[in-house]
Structure 1
Amino acid sequence: MIFIFLVLIAAFLGYLLQLLTMSGALAAIVVGVLISIGFGWKGLLLLGFFFISSSLLSKYKKKQKQQIEARHEKGSTRDWQQVFANGGLPALFSVLFIIFPSPIFFIAFTITIASANSDTWASEIGALSKRKPLSIKNLKQVEPGTSGAMSFLGTFAAIMGAFSIAMIAMLSYSLSFSTMLMIFVFGFLGNILDTLLGAFIQVTYRCPACDMVVESKWHCHCQTVYLGGRTVVNNDLVNLSSCGLASLLGILFFVTVAGG
């Protein structure tokens, strides 16, 4: 009950601080409660670190990121789809751990959070790079905030994002160094997969008014023109898919190589 109360307080504060929409706060409660039941305060610690760090980074130098946010379908205040895109799989693995208390689901749980944290840190910190990122499609410079692009600063942030979650997991659960390393590697791999999916599958549009490449069907109060990608694949689905793929690959490695 104490954990559930803390989840309610955190969601309420997130809404008051405009970190979450009302739907996002309700989704955060669902995710937080399920994780608290499955993995207790240690699971909430990992989730809380991801949420707090990503929220603070999204607000850091917000004015400098306004042009970048204009490209994205949604802003930094997270709705229920964004919450479930990053927290839905950890909640699912928590439920599976309750039903089938296997270390496989714990590994998957930590990898998904490490992947989400890695991708978020890459996006929020990489957006502040003084050099334009390179598109992995053609290795040409593109505007900051373009999906499927990488920068040195963003990549370093992605590494640190995955590593921080892996370290917290190791210290909280007294994991071995090899397990921590596995969580880190597959967490960072999730960011790489996110970049690949963003480059080759995520839908993009062009605004006829300002000629900006965006992720939304509407921009500058007018309908945008389809450029490429799958129309059903937005950033939320890319985030969910990359975390899912990273966790599945991590499970496969854990079972076949690590002897889990």
Structure 2
Amino acid sequence: MLTHGLVIGTLLLLSVLSFRLEALTAGGATLMFLMGTGIELAAGWRGLLLIFLFFATSSAASRWKKEEKAFLASILDKTDRRDWLQVLANGGPPLLFCIGYGSAGHLAFLYAYIAAVAAANADTWASEWGVLSKGTPRLLLSFRPVPKGTSGGATLAGTMAGLGGAALIGLSAFLLWYPVLSPQGAALAALLGFSGMLLDSLFGAAVQEKNRCRICGEETERKDHCGEKTVRVRGIPHFTNDVVNLLSVSAAGLLALLVKMLPG
């Protein structure tokens, strides 16, 4: 049986390594360690291993064919080196569901935790693999074609990648918590995670803040472009990609919590 000290020590080592490998900023690595500690204390090494699986596979996906994604630097507000806000947006809701599971002992919180992690993994996989697709991204609301990297844009390849990312988390959770977790329950959590990814795309298309460069006219998430401040053209002010991620991951977990707490 793994001791808390061994697990926390390993987590500290992984946090430092993530910073040294430039997968996380200093703030991101620090928050990863603190939140990971909370998850381990609430749900044990199984809970920590599940969210680490998300972090490891998502970081690998972000670095895969990195040179082909270089054009995203002018569109996206963040790089592939995740900061503390990105860690909080993707890991905050799972941490809260974990605390609920650890304190209340109700399996509904475990399902919520798995669904939230599945949503985060599905969204990252969809984004990282979808941008490499040869297909044209389309907005889910209108099916209007948009440039690659546009928030809310989806491709078939990206959607299938997202489904795979959610399925990986669901399958891993089943193996980690068997026989507490049934195959049907793990599949439900994965499906709700995939639904969270779709909700992320809808939020990205409908309400995420979009800006336009005053110089070149490119639409971007960035507040500055070509050395000048950008102008907001649509979306809710300050409704960034981090906010979208936070809401979609939370929604997936809350939906799982609701479904498992309903009588019958």
When the two structures are superposed, what TM-score results if normalisation uses the length of structure 1? 0.96
Q: Secondary structure at the match of 1:140?
A: coil
Deviation per CA, 1:11-35: give whole Å up to 9, x if none: 1000000000000011101111011
Corresponding residue pairs, total? 258
Deviation per CA, 1:44-95: give whole Å up to 9, x if none: 1111110010001101111111112321111110110000100111111222
Does structure 2 retain, via aligned residues, the 8 Å contact 1:112–1:187? yes
Between the aligned partners of 1:140 and 1:163, the Cα distance in structure 2 is: 28
After superposition, residues 1-260 of structure 1 pair within 5 angstroms as: 1-174=5-178, 175-256=181-262, 259=264
Between the aligned partners of 1:144 and 1:98, the Cα distance in structure 2 is: 41
What is the aligned-residue RMSD (CA, Å)? 1.1
Q: Secondary structure at the match of 2:151?
A: coil
Does structure 2 retain, via aligned residues, the 8 Å contact 1:127–1:144? yes
Between the aligned partners of 2:215 and 2:13, the Cα distance in structure 1 is: 43
Kindly provide the amino acid, as one letter, of the partner of residue 261 in structure 2. Answer: V
Gaps of 5+ in 2: none
Deviation at 1:2, TM superposition (A): 1.0
Deviation at 1:98, TM superposition (A): 2.4
Between the aligned partners of 2:24 and 2:216, the Cα distance in structure 1 is: 29
Gaps of 5+ in 1: none
Between the aligned partners of 2:73 and 2:184, the Cα distance in structure 1 is: 38
Equivalent pairs: percent with the same residue?
A: 38
When the two structures are superposed, what TM-score results if normalisation uses the length of structure 2? 0.95
